[in-house]
Amino acid sequence: MTSRIPLVDYLVLDDDPHLVAQECTGCNARYFERRNACASCGRLEFRIVPIATTGEVRSFTIVSLAPSGVPVPFVAAVVDCDGTSVRANVINTPPSPEHVSLGMKVRLATYVVGTDSAGVEAIGFGFEPLEGAPDGV
């Protein structure tokens, strides 16, 4: 049996993979990386909240230059998931303006980033188009 570990600790892998954010108990600001204090109000307490697995592309850039070893082009985007902005790549679609657009509906998708010598898979995430997704056609 293969074990799977998320590439980032805010990706939860279960039957229905999703992202979780740390939400400030003072001002409800949301963060994906661990924080000691809220950048908005300075409070120290956070609660874990699940993030919607579908969203809309709010902005995107087609990246064609990257450090060697990073396949290009790819689509770097900010996805609005029910009010929470998530930075992620748009995947499972050709990286061209004909296939990615502002306001496009997308859903969370996971993929295997790599496997270590013990067979443990590292799992990353991106967003794929809701319409015309490869497995839906």
Our CB check for Zn ion shows the closer of 29 and 63 to be: 29
Measure the CA–CA gap between 14 and 117, rounded to whole angstroms. 23
Query: Which of 38, 88 has the CB closer to Zn ion?
Result: 38
Nearer to Zn ion, 40 or 85 (CB): 40
CA-CA distance, 59 to 7, in Å (whole number)?
23
User: Using CB under 5 A, which residues numbered 43 to 102 contact Zn ion?
Assistant: 43
User: Do the beta carbons of residue 23 and residue 49 sit within 8 Å?
Assistant: yes
Contacts (Cβ under 8 Å, ≥6 apart) of 49:
20, 21, 22, 23, 30
CB 125 within 8 A of CB 19: yes
57: β partners: 79
> Which residues in 3-32 contact Zn ion (CB under 5 A)?
24, 26-27, 29
Q: How far is the CB of 10 from Zn ion (least distance, A)?
A: 17
Check residue 40 for interaction with Zn ion (CB under 5 A): yes
Q: How many residues bind Zn ion (CB under 5 A)?
A: 8
Which of 11, 19, 21, 38 binds Zn ion (CB under 5 A)? It is 38
Contacting positions for Zn ion (CB under 5 A): 24, 26-27, 29, 38, 40-41, 43
